[in-house]
Amino acid sequence: MNGLAVRGLKFYAVGGLGIGVQLAALSLFTGVLDWSYLPATAAAVELAVIHNFLWHDRWTWRDRPGGWPAFLRFNATTGLTSIAANLLLMRLLVGGFGMHYLAANGIAVALTAIANFAVSEWFVFRR
């Protein structure tokens, strides 16, 4: 298996953990703290972005420069893209079609995953 494929597997393994973080936070914010689903989504995505960056910096792209510069690039690209896409898709799927917020959030995460890997590989953790 080539290096890019291995890195992709690591990326999606971390992403799987991040989905757990995001859905747990979304459940907490909406179910326990009684936040509306849109602000809850934005906060949950940001927590997952931070979680994922920490793993990517130490495991997925440990052979490349990371730290604060990479965190700022990660948050400004995949973070903002993920928040915007999640909010748009949540508004459409939950607000427009009445889908349950957790199912809608899972769809939103899946749709942004490939773009996030590409941006991380070729921009955030560039050589």
The per-residue pLDDT for range 54-108, each reduced to its tens digit, is 999 999 999 999 999 999 999 999 999 999 999 999 999 999 999 999 999 999 9
Whether pLDDT at 127 is above 90: no
Mean pLDDT calculated for residue range 20-31:
97
In the chain, the percentage of residues whose pLDDT exceeds 90 is 96
Q: Dihedral angle at the C-alpha atoms of 45, 109, 49, 12, nearest 10 degrees?
A: 160
HEC readout, 85-98: HHHHHHHHHHHHCC
Locus of tokens 């508004």: 91
Question: Which DSSP letter does residue 120 get?
Answer: I
- The reported pLDDT for the residue numbered 17 is 97
* Cα 119 to Cα 3: distance, rounded to the nearest angstrom: 16
pTM of the predicted model, to two decimals? 0.93
99: left (phi over 0), alpha (psi -120 to 50) or beta: beta
Domain with 61 in it: 3-124
Q: Indicate the number of domains in the chain.
A: 1
| Distance separating the N- and C-terminal Cα atoms of the chain | 21
